[in-house]
């Protein structure tokens, strides 16, 4: 079965520092890949998505992610973190070639931003 | 576009009681999804509707759970004879018929606490 791994449960960075959140997936083919952010009391908001083409994708709020097929990874990055970025981040995959529409999520990475 | 709405936002119930949650998707979206999220975990897929047809169900959806979307618009998720293990955030999402990439828009969720 497919799986999504986010190795870092909790990350703390200083405001203004760069950020990289890791995501690895286990699946034979290339899935559709997503990053969502969840703030306390809020629903999941889509940051960015990858389906094909350019392996570096830009998203909202200054986030970007790079797809690396050889590493089965889709890491999320931001060059300069703002205090408002503190939230939980989820990587998700969709296996569209199977006809299934369910998203499979990782367990999330909680980001704390220090002033 | 008012987004996906869910009611109630919070529900506290006693073990053994039945509860029902409602989800109103984005108006032109014909696909609707239910997920469950427990503390410290990513969302887990429960079920998926295209219009009024329930096309996919997870093994997580035990016999005590039932979901409906009778007119292809709003959906309800009912849990019968609730158990303490049912305590979780129940998330609803919807996606557009024009979207072939399965981008899902999430509501704020209903938090269920079973005492």
Q: For B49-108, how does the pLDDT look when each residue is reduced to its tens digit (9 = 90+)? A: 999 999 989 988 889 999 999 988 999 999 999 999 999 999 999 999 888 778 899 999
Determine the length of chain B: 115
| C-alpha distances out from residue B93 to B16, B24, B26, B60, B103, Å | 27, 9, 9, 17, 10
Q: pLDDT tens-digit profile of A61-104?
A: 999 999 999 999 999 999 999 999 999 999 999 876 677 788 99
Q: Do A101 and B48 touch (CB under 8 A)?
A: yes
pLDDT over 70, % of chain A: 96
What residues of B are in contact with residue A45 (Cβ under 8 Å)?
106
Tell me if the bond preceding B8 is cis, omega within 30° of 0: yes
Strands B88-95 and A10-14: what pairing? unpaired
Q: What is the pLDDT of residues B23-41, one digit of tens each?
A: 999 998 999 999 999 998 9
Task: Indicate if the pLDDT at residue B13 is higher than 70.
Answer: yes
CA distance B13 to chain A (A): 20
What DSSP designation does A31 have? P
> What pLDDT, on a 0 to 100 scale, did the predictor assign at position A97?
66
Closest CA to A101 of A109, A92, A111: A92
Partners of B53 on chain A (C-beta within 8 Å) are: none
Of B43, B102, B109, the CB nearest to A101: B102
User: HSE on the CB side for A85, CA within 13 Å?
Assistant: 29
Task: List residues of chain A with CB under 8 Å from any CB of chain B.
Answer: 4, 32, 34, 36, 41-46, 49, 51, 90, 92, 94, 96, 100-108
């Amino acid at each position: 079965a497919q799986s999504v791994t986010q190795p870092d449960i909790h990350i703390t960075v200083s405001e203004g520092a760069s950020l990289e959140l890791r995501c690895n997936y286990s699946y034979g083919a290339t899935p559709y890949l997503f990053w969502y952010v969840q703030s306390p009391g809020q629903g999941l908001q889509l940051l960015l998505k990858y389906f094909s083409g350019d392996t570096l994708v830009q998203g909202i709020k200054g986030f970007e992610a790079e797809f690396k097929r050889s590493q089965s990874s889709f890491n999320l990055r931001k060059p300069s973190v703002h205090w408002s970025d503190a939230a939980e981040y989820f990587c998700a995959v969709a296996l569209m070639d199977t006809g299934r529409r369910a998203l499979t999520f990782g367990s999330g990475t909680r980001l704390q931003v220090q002033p | 576009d008012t987004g996906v709405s869910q009611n109630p936002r919070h529900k506290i119930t006693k073990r053994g009681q039945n509860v029902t949650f409602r989800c109103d998707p984005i108006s032109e979206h014909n696909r609707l999804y239910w997920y469950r999220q427990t503390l410290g975990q990513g969302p887990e897929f429960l079920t998926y509707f295209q219009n009024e047809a329930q096309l996919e169900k997870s093994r997580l959806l035990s016999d005590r759970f039932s979901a409906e979307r009778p007119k292809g618009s709003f959906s309800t998720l009912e849990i019968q004879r609730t158990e303490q293990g049912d305590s979780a955030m129940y998330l609803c999402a919807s996606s557009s018929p024009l979207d072939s990439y399965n981008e899902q828009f999430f509501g704020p969720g209903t938090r269920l606490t079973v005492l």
